Structure 1
Amino acid sequence: MKLAIMQPYVFPYIGYFQLAAAVDRFVFYDDVNYIKNGWINRNRMLIGDQVHYLTVPLVRASSSLKICDVQIQPREQWLRKLLESIRHAYAKAPHYTSVSELIGSIFATPTGRISVLASHSVTEICRYLDMDTTFVPTSSDYANTHLKGEERVLDICRQEGARTYVNLPGGRDLYSPARFATAGLEISFIEPELRPYPQSAQSGSNFHPALSILDVLMYNSRDEVKDMLGVRVTT
């Protein structure tokens, strides 16, 4: 069984979904400290030829809080404006209607926690793309918060019965293949493919890679996005 572990992000870039597509089970690392100015509550979208942030406002977010404890501001204060920004950015995109319905269903999730909303944004998009990866948050299952870093990852893999731990390239400096091998595990890394696609008439020949998955979905059919989820795995 192949396993991945990542913090939950709101509408992350396609590399996150390529990681999810490369594994059987995906663990949301939601009981570690919140990262300010990271990707947990925001991502990037394209308005015209300019990159702008799509942000879910939070209540007194702090790196002293666990991600699963960080609260979202009341939706009446920001949701309408956020949806209008998405409409302004993508109303002329070929798949706006179906993707905007998906976005609406995600934001209809009855939760005040960013971890739940971010995780839901990932799982609902995976379902939209007919992916069969299963998901679980660390806050619900493992009872191992006393462990840190590599030791905790190894323990989660052990509890899940994983044989291969798959990560994005940034994890190369965090984990020791020898330590995983000693634990009877293989560690692999995917190389995300940021395939260019026509983003808008206004952007001309410019391509802005690694935007939110929403940008990919707006300009590509479901079958085209599924094709983009193919990954190259290295050891």
Structure 2
Amino acid sequence: MQPYFFPYIGYWQLINAVDKFVIYDDVNFIMRGYINRNAILINGQAYKFSIPLEKPSQNKLINETKLNFSDSAKNDFLKTIELAYKKAPCYKEVYPVLNKIIYNKETDLTTFIKFAIKTVNQYLGINTEILLSSDIEKDNSLKGQNKII
């Protein structure tokens, strides 16, 4: 699967259902995709947010894409989460997990998202091995579905 920033529940269900989960990071970045963005509800309305990137391009692979996520942007993101969810039932339990993810020091998108997935997996008790497609020996001349293991 392509990496996503805080993906929907079906992504976690899939990770939990398999022995190994492969993050496809050696494919092109999708400019309007959900690799670095998502949405939350604030007062019943969708609020879209994204991880700032350094010169994103559909001509770069996901694993070639770098973050431009300043401490100020991280603070703003976490403040938005706090204002939207501080009264939610599990907020006090989940907020430290989000904080750990957002303040990790990774500078490339793939490693950042892999860290986020592994951190959420740990919180959820999911023990699936997480692999990067770029680390798997394969025929790189294959395209599309033929690349899937």
| Distance of 1:74 and 1:108 partners within structure 2 | 10
Matched, 1:135 2:130: yes
Deviation at 1:77, TM superposition (A): 4.2
Matched, 1:107 2:110: no
- Structure with higher Rg: it is 1
| Distance of 1:76 and 1:144 partners within structure 2 | 39
| Distance of 1:142 and 1:34 partners within structure 2 | 21
- Is residue 52–residue 68 contact of structure 2 (8 Å, CA) maintained in 1? yes
TM-score normalised to structure 2 length: 0.94
SS in 2 for 1:118: helix
SS in 2 for 1:146: coil
SS in 1 for 2:33: coil
- Is residue 30–residue 138 contact of structure 1 (8 Å, CA) maintained in 2? yes
Determine which of 66, 70, 84 is the counterpart of 2:65.
70
TM-score normalised to structure 1 length: 0.61
Deviation at 1:111, TM superposition (A): 1.1
Q: Give % identity.
A: 35
Q: Which amino acid aligns with 2:33?
A: G
Q: Which amino acid aligns with 1:25?
A: K
Deviation at 1:100, TM superposition (A): 0.7
Q: How many residues are paired up?
A: 149
RMSD: 1.3
Matched, 1:55 2:53: no
SS in 2 for 1:78: helix
